[in-house]
Amino acid sequence: MQKKYGVYICTGCGIGEVLNIEKLESVVAEKRFACKTHACLCGQEGLDLIKADVAEGTNALAIAACSRRVNFDIFKFDGCVVDRVNLREGVVWSHSRDVFPGPVTEDEKADEYFVDRIQQMADDYIRMGMARIEKIAIPAPYKLENFSKKILVIGGGVTGMSAALDAAAAGYEVTIVEKEETLGGYAAKMRKQMPVVMPFESLIPPVVNDKIKAVEASSKIEVKTGTVVARIAGQPGDFTVTFKKPGEKIEFDVPLAVPEEQRVDANGKALDVDQIRVIYNQINEGRADVLTFDPNGVKYGAVILAAGWKPAEVNAEAWAHLGVGHADVITNHQFEMMAKEGKVVRPSDGRPAKNVVFVQSPGKDGDDADFDYCGSVTSMVALKQAKYVREDYADGKAYVIYQHMRTPGLQENFYKSMQQDPGVFLTKGEVTAVEPTADGLVVTAGSTLLGDEIQIRADLVVLATGMVPATKEDPVVNLAYRQGPGFRDIKTFDGYADSNFICFPYETQRTGVYAAGAVRRSQTIEESMEDAAGAALKAIQCVESANRGVAVHPRSGDMTFPDFFFQRCTQCKRCTEECPFGALDDDERGTPKPNPTRCRRCGTCMGACPERIIGFADYSIDSVGSMVKSIWVPSDMDFTEPPMRILGLVCENDAYPALDMAAMNRISYHADVRIIPVRCLGSVNVIWIKDALSQGMDGVFMMGCKHGDDYQCHFVKGSELMDVRSSKMGDTLVSLGLENERVAQFEVAIDEFDKAPELINKFVARIEELGPNPFKGF
């Protein structure tokens, strides 16, 4: 691409008042780039100015105006590379002349040694913008050779069928695969279910039967019962799926990942990648490799995982005080099965169970935790099953002893209506004992509404065991991915399939696979049906995005994808290992095979690659590195007291918006800082940090999202990976004679705009104490 450069400086929104625009123009002139200024670039006149140049061949534009987060739809020019130099939020709004004064008197203006920090900042940002447009290119979409829009739904329960019906209604071909011989799943095994429509008051017959009829009547839905997925190979838009009978062993069974315990030697030391690969090959003996595609496989574009749940096992040891083992102490699952068959009776002698106690929490040693995998659904199931007792016997009494009674949303109406039944008794409390008597059981509960210690005579005790997601023990999706057949366990979701519970429902850690229903969290039938619609829409978004060669999520519409310069690959496998989405499958030599439609364009591979051979059209080691190098680092040859230079690599998802918001609130941070937005901290390659320090910059900080249990990283692992990488940098720094503290990493949430500048200023103060980088001036 032959580039013709143009720099456009906006002087509106306070930029012209704070900055010396002529000085900025002179910075542009150093590069001999064309430069134009306007008082309102985003206005019609300003845009016409740019468009006229574009019409005459200008195709690489640096627009020095507001943040890239605003007016992105206005400053968009087809066939051009564009950089947005953030003079408004990044410079003039976030830096006050009261703190960083400019030259005022004639003497000051004439003094070429006057340190005008804000002006220097703007100058650098212009340089960085120009450096970037020199390095980036216009992306071309990645097009798949084979392409399927069909959607595969795993699980023929109420969620799977709802998703299939929704996708079919939108015009997509769907296949439902169900391991059991009939459709319906757990929802078909119930006596009654919770309400799904207003007024949410009474129990209704299971809605699943209507779903089965609708699925059977649909011409767009193919149903495969008694079938499971052996493997799903390939990538979104072009998955190759192998089906099999449950329990069957076939060549195309999915290759397994090496379990954690086999990744270390006898002394607990981590094995290297090649040793792990040997073990990998051993455990997958007889199975076709992930790169071998089943010639008889069926093509699909996206997958909806609606594998549902299993009732939790009874923990006889931990729940011994609840009478586990006695015939009349059963689980809510067993109760449901009994209620479906007929009247509620005592399993021990078949006599009517008229006094039933529903226990919602194991309640031991003052711990108010519920049973594992319990939640609002088990609360409501207890109310539902209490109603069964009342339906079966006019003089029946149902007691629910809970630590938490959760009835979210309009299900509160259901709670109210169940509570109205004279024979349903509810109390918060801690069940401390269930003991057999001559005729039945006696339940003892403490800390109840009725007193410190109460006892209830019971014919039957029902324990609220939870709903364990099907993905806890078994990957179910069986992806033929090098990282393993399931979603990576990030030790946050207890086996539930989810990549970020709040921000990105339905997304999993595998692009093109969308989870819905109880596999995502315990859900009612009502919630599952709504969830199914969400997952169906995501699956449709995925196939349509793959079709256009753009990213699905969270960089929806991004046309770039990682490009590998394979000649220099050393097969270290770091990219394959670190990719949070399992997008890369390496071959037996260890060369990564990219699967661009699996990719979310976070750049983690680029950050991980020690050879720096991975890059995107508009975001690469070189483009960011050149920006770093274009920053002017003054030394004592320039000024008697040279200002510091501190580089900030800031995540564009949460931290960068937080800084923009700080600017809007005119919260200031030190003007010696130079910010470069990055796609994710995971994409930060340590070479940028080394470059910055070796050219004399005094410190480097990374600012990204929170990690840990409540991680907010858009790419799951980015800030965590960066943490590991920068901790490993310590030795390098020491060998250079630099202090560890010159590199730091911060976490901010998007709403912590008051905190972000504070963190920066503290860091700057710390660097000031350390003194200037000794490399300055070399």
673, 636, 634: which is closest to 756 by C-alpha? 673
Question: Token pair of 697, please?
Answer: 């910059």
CB of 390 to other proteins, least distance (A): 10
Q: Does 457 bind other proteins (CB under 8 A)?
A: yes
Size of the site for other proteins (CB under 8 A): 22
Closer residue to other proteins, CB minimum distance, 453 or 494: 453
CB 200 → other proteins: shortest distance, Å? 16
Near other proteins by CB under 8 A: residue from 39, 52, 316, 450: 450
Shortest distance in whole angstroms from residue 580 CB to other proteins: 44
Q: Counting contacts by CB under 8 A, is residue 173 touching other proteins?
A: no
CA distance 581 to 757: 32
**582 phi, psi to nearest 5 deg:** 60, 35
> Could you tell me the two tokens for 498?
């989810």
**x/- map, 514-533, other proteins, by CB under 8 A:** --------------------
| Nearest distance, CB of residue 455 and other proteins, angstroms | 5
Q: Which is nearer to other proteins, 425 or 501 (CB)?
A: 425
Residue closer to other proteins, measured from CB, 224 or 428: 428
Sign of the Cα pseudo-torsion (648, 650, 654, 658, in order): positive
* x/- map, 124-163, other proteins, by CB under 8 A: ----------------------------------------
**C-alpha–C-alpha distance, residues 144 and 151, integer Å:** 17
In the complex, the smallest distance separating the C-beta of residue 449 from other proteins, rounded to whole angstroms, is 5
Shortest Å distance, C-beta 324 to other proteins = 22
* By CB under 8 A, residue 766 contacts other proteins: no
Q: Residue 407: which of 245, 200, 607 has the closest Cα?
A: 200
| Residue 379 or 745 having the CB closest to other proteins | 379
In the complex, minimum distance from the CB of residue 161 to other proteins, in angstroms, rounded to a whole number: 36
Q: b/e per residue, 69-105, with b = 16+ CB within 10 A?
A: ebbeebbebeebbbbbbbbbbbbbbbbeeeebebeee
Residue selected from 199, 205, 409, 451 as contacting other proteins according to rule CB under 8 A: 451
Is the CB of 73 or the CB of 452 nearer to other proteins?
A: 452
Residue 170 vs 433, nearer CB to other proteins? 433
Residue 441 Cβ vs other proteins, minimum distance, rounded to whole Å? 13
Pick 3 or 428: Cβ nearer other proteins: 428
In the complex with other proteins, which residue's Cβ is closer, 12 or 423? 423
Binders of other proteins among 320-339, rule CB under 8 A? Answer: none
* Per CB under 8 A, 449 contacts other proteins: yes
Per the listing, tokens 């619609």 go with: 533
Which 3-state string (H, E, C) describes 470-535?
Answer: CCCCCCCCCECCCCCCCCCCCCCCCCCCCCECCCECCECCCCCEEECHHHCCCCCHHHHHHHHHHH
Measured in whole angstroms, how far is the alpha carbon of residue 53 from the centre of its chain? 41
- CA dihedral 627→632→635→638, nearest 10 degrees, is 170
Q: Is 455 in the site for other proteins (CB under 8 A)?
A: yes
DSSP class of 89: I
**Bond into 206 cis (ω within 30):** no
CA-nearest of 9, 6, 129 to 57 is: 6
454 binds other proteins (CB under 8 A): yes
Least Cβ distance, residue 366 to other proteins (angstroms):
17
Provide the H-helix boundaries in 218-351.
273-283, 332-341
Cβ pair 157, 185 in contact under 8 A: yes
Stretch that binds other proteins, among 339-347, 447-455, 622-630, 725-733 (CB under 8 A): 447-455
704: amino acid identity, one letter: G
Reference 768, options 634, 642, 635, 644; nearest CA is: 644
Q: By CB under 8 A, what part of segment 251-280 binds other proteins?
A: none
User: Per-residue contact track with other proteins, 406 to 445, x per CB under 8 A?
Assistant: ----------x--xxxxxxx-xx---------------x-
Q: How far apart are CA 563 and CA 746, in angstroms?
A: 29
Question: In 3D, which of 248, 39, 284, 2 has the Cα closest to residue 134?
Answer: 2
Nearest distance from residue 375's CB to other proteins, in Å?
Answer: 19
C-beta closer to other proteins: residue 180 or 421: 421
Taking CB under 8 A as the criterion, the residue among 397, 538, 707, 714 binding other proteins is 397
Cβ nearer to other proteins, comparing 419 with 635: 419
568 binds other proteins (CB under 8 A): no
Would you say 425 or 775 has its CB closer to other proteins? 425
Q: Do 370 and 412 meet the contact criterion of CB atoms below 8 Å apart?
A: no
Q: Rank residues 315 and 432 by Cβ distance to other proteins and give the closer one.
A: 432
> Looking at beta carbons only, is 300 or 415 nearer to other proteins?
415
Handedness of CA 115, 116, 121, 125 (dihedral sign): negative
- Give the residues lining the site for other proteins (CB under 8 A): 395, 397, 416, 419-425, 427-428, 444, 449-457
